[in-house]
Amino acid sequence: MIQLKHVNKYFFKGQSREVHALRDISLQIQQGEFVALSGSSGCGKTTLLNAMGVLDNIDSGEIYLNNKEISHLDAKEKTNIRLYEVGFVFQAYNLIPVLSVKENISFIMKMQNIDQQQIQNRVQELAKILQIEDKLELLPSRLSGGQQQRVAVARAVATKPKIILADEPTANLDSKNSKALMDMMRELNQKENITIVFASHDEMVVNAVDKVIRLDDGKLV
C-alpha cells in the first residue's frame, strides 16, 4: 500500500544550520491497516505524514503508493494524488470557512465531478455516521472543535480514498470527543477498509491503533 525506502528530509534554518528531520526511513503499511506514527514532539511524525501525502517534498529516498513512486511527481500529479488517493485530517481541522458543513463534506467529491445525487447520498450517510446531521447547513465557525473535526473526517473519507492521513486529530479535543473520534475512525477503517495513519503523541490514539511506528529524532525506533 505505502512503502518508504531510505527517505531523508532536511530543514534549513538560516544559511548553514540544517535539521535532519527524517533519517533513512524505510517502512511499509498495508491496505486496511490502522496505524499510528508516534514519538515525542519534534521527532518527525508530521513531516513523515506530510511526505506520505505528497504535501511535502523529500530530499532523498522513494515513496510508493500502490507500487507507484509518488515523491518525484510534478505539482499537478501530486495534486491529483491528494485529490483522488489520499484523505487528510488536520490538527486544526482546516475546513473552508466560507462553505457550509454540507459544502465542506462534498467539496472534494465535487472536485472529482461525482454525480450530484451520489454526493447528496454520501453526505447524508456520513452525517449520520458522524452525528452531524443537524449541522449540515451551518458554517464551520458555528461548530465546536469536536464537531469541526468530525466534519474534517467526513470530508476526508467522503470519496473513499485508499488512505487517510490524520495529523494529531485529537490534539484540540477533550477526552470524550477524542474517544468518539477514534471510535468513528475505527468504524470507517473497518466498514470501508480504508488505511488510516495517525501522527500523534496522544496515548489514547496510540492505544487504539493496531500498529505503532515509533520515531525518535527523525529515526525509526
Is 202 one of the binding residues for other proteins (CB under 8 A)?
no
The position carrying cell 466498514 is 191
For the chain, the first-to-last Cα distance in angstroms comes to: 21
Tell me the window of 1-9, 66-74, 166-174, 200-208 that interacts with other proteins (CB under 8 A): 166-174
Tell me how far apart the alpha carbons of residues 110 and 170 are, in angstroms, rounded to a whole number: 27
Query: What part of residues 18-77 is at the interface with other proteins (CB under 8 A)?
Result: 46, 50, 55-56, 75-76
Q: Which of 98, 125, 131, 187 binds other proteins (CB under 8 A)?
A: 98
Q: Which of 26, 28, 31, 80 binds other proteins (CB under 8 A)?
A: 80
Tell me how far apart the alpha carbons of residues 149 and 133 are, in angstroms, rounded to a whole number: 14
Tell me the window of 1-9, 94-102, 130-138, 200-208 that interacts with other proteins (CB under 8 A): 94-102
Write the DSSP symbol of residue 74.
-
Least distance from C-beta 91 to other proteins, angstroms?
5
Tell me how far apart the alpha carbons of residues 136 and 124 are, in angstroms, rounded to a whole number: 9
Tell me the window of 142-150, 163-171, 179-187, 203-211 that interacts with other proteins (CB under 8 A): 163-171
CB atoms within 10 A of CB 77: 13
Is 9 one of the binding residues for other proteins (CB under 8 A)?
no
Tell me the window of 22-30, 98-106, 125-133, 204-212 that interacts with other proteins (CB under 8 A): 98-106
Is 95 one of the binding residues for other proteins (CB under 8 A)?
yes
Q: Which of 17, 97, 115, 203 binds other proteins (CB under 8 A)?
A: 97
With the C-alpha atoms ordered 67, 71, 77, 81, is the resulting torsion angle positive or negative? positive
* Number of shown-chain residues binding other proteins (CB under 8 A): 32
Residues 6+ apart with CB under 8 A from 183: none
Tell me how far apart the alpha carbons of residues 75 and 77 are, in angstroms, rounded to a whole number: 6
Pairing mode, if any, of strands 195-199 and 163-167? parallel
CB contact at 8 A, 7 and 70: no
Give the phi and the psi of residue 92 in degrees, each rounded to 5.
Answer: -95, 25
Is 189 one of the binding residues for other proteins (CB under 8 A)?
no
| Residue closer to other proteins, measured from CB, 87 or 146 | 87
Residues forming the site for other proteins (CB under 8 A): 46, 50, 55-56, 75-76, 79-80, 82-84, 88, 90-92, 94-99, 103, 107-108, 110-113, 155, 167-168, 171
